[in-house]
Amino acid sequence: MSKRVFGFISLLMVLSMLLTACGPKAFECTDTIGCVTIAPDEPVHLAYAMVISGPDATLGIDSRNGAEIAIFDKGGKVLGHDIKFDGEDELCSAEGGQAAGTKLAADPTIIGIVGTSCSSAVRVAMPLWTKAGFTVISASNTAVDLTLAGNENNHPGYLRTAHSDSVQGAAAAKFAWEKLGIKKAATIHDGSIYAEQLQQVFVDAFKEMGGTITAQESVDPTQTDMSGVLTSIAAGGPEFIYHPIFIQAGAQIVRQARETPGLETVYLMGADGMFSPDVMTGAGDAVEGVFVSSPDTTKFGPDYETSFKPTYLEKYGSAPLSIFHAHAYDAMNMLLACIEKVAVQDDDGTLHIGRQAMRDCMYSTKDFKGLTGNLTCTPTGDCADPKIAVYEYHAGEYPPEKIWPED
């Protein structure tokens, strides 16, 4: 080989080395709990865990619809990648939460979860999802302890756009005391952490105002004969019964209370777990005059009426089924916004998303312009802009009518 050829080859080798050294550096994950890498032709995978079957299905289906509309409004893509959105039925129970939690935790492609619908489900699922590195944001979990600093049920990676029941229970007590002039009340819960905690918040607030609690009873979520509990409550002579439970048992209480001596004209009030047309089906004409506390949709942003609700009707053929669809819409948009913020994108479109970076981004959310208000997240995951209203059911009409506050 001539010196000239050898020199030319050597020069090419040096140039090649220089080009390699100056080229794009391969991504190196430094995230403390790992990264998800998404190839150019792969979707960004988000999941749901909601109750989509059984007597409480409208709660979860409604929220899933809201999250899907958020994806639709983004054109089905984020950072040039399709959005994959699938999930599991958590059955509104601890058992369902365990099953859904286990299955989703086994999928390393999932970046975030919108869910669960029910507090009892997330309590058992969240430890699995924390370990898997997921970011989880619920549209309808309202149990107080889930975002209580230092509580064993407040897990890293958990947030919610729903209100805390510390707000809802106090609002219900204020309505009973100030609006209705109630002095004696009773409560019924169904053993779920949601209902048990919510009725206790009501009790504490009502007693602080000067009211008397005549009974605190419990029923099973699948119980159909409420006569024993209702007869026992009637003996105490309450003017008002607060029963913040779910659809099936709630409807039975409404129907049977009207047939119980001493309770025929007592005020009945549920909460957001009873905001469903299925309550009307289950309770029949007895639903007339029943109250429920829930988020105040009249305080949502203007896009709720002008854009979101028409899209919902067009896509699903009905008005919203329950009350947390807008909260799910906001939850999904918060996840997508943080993906856009923290993802590292290669020249070929590959995405690298740090799991802790996602959590940090979500917790640092401030003044996020959502349908439900301006959302700012606390270090323990409360992101809601909570405004609670009281609605009144009228037989044959859905949704129920907002009656309080009157502004």
Check residue 26 and give its pLDDT: 86
Structure tokens at 314: 């067009």
Q: What are phi and psi of 392, to 5 degrees?
A: -120, 130
User: How distant, in Å, are the alpha carbons of 13, 15, 251 from that of 19?
Assistant: 10, 6, 72
DSSP states of 260-276: STT-TT-EEEE-GGG-S
Nearest to 297 by CA among 320, 317, 316, 280: 320
Q: b or e along 55-90 (b: 16 or more beta carbons within 10 Å of the residue's beta carbon)? A: bbbbbbbbbbbbbbbbbebeeeebeebebebebbbb
Q: Could you tell me how far CA 137 lies from the centroid of its own chain?
A: 7
Q: What's the whole-model pTM score?
A: 0.93
Domains and CATH numbers, the chain: 35-164+300-387 (3.40.50.2300), 166-298+389-404 (3.40.50.2300)
Structure tokens at 225: 């004969």
| pLDDT in 10s for each residue of the chain, 407 residues | 455 544 544 544 544 454 444 455 789 999 999 999 999 999 999 999 999 999 999 999 999 999 999 999 999 999 999 999 999 999 999 999 999 999 999 999 999 999 999 999 999 999 999 999 999 999 999 999 999 999 999 999 999 999 999 999 999 999 999 999 999 999 999 999 999 999 999 999 999 999 999 999 999 999 999 999 999 999 999 999 999 999 999 999 999 999 999 999 999 999 999 999 999 999 999 999 999 999 999 999 999 999 999 999 999 999 999 999 999 999 999 999 999 999 999 999 999 999 999 999 999 999 999 999 999 999 999 999 999 999 999 999 999 999 999 87
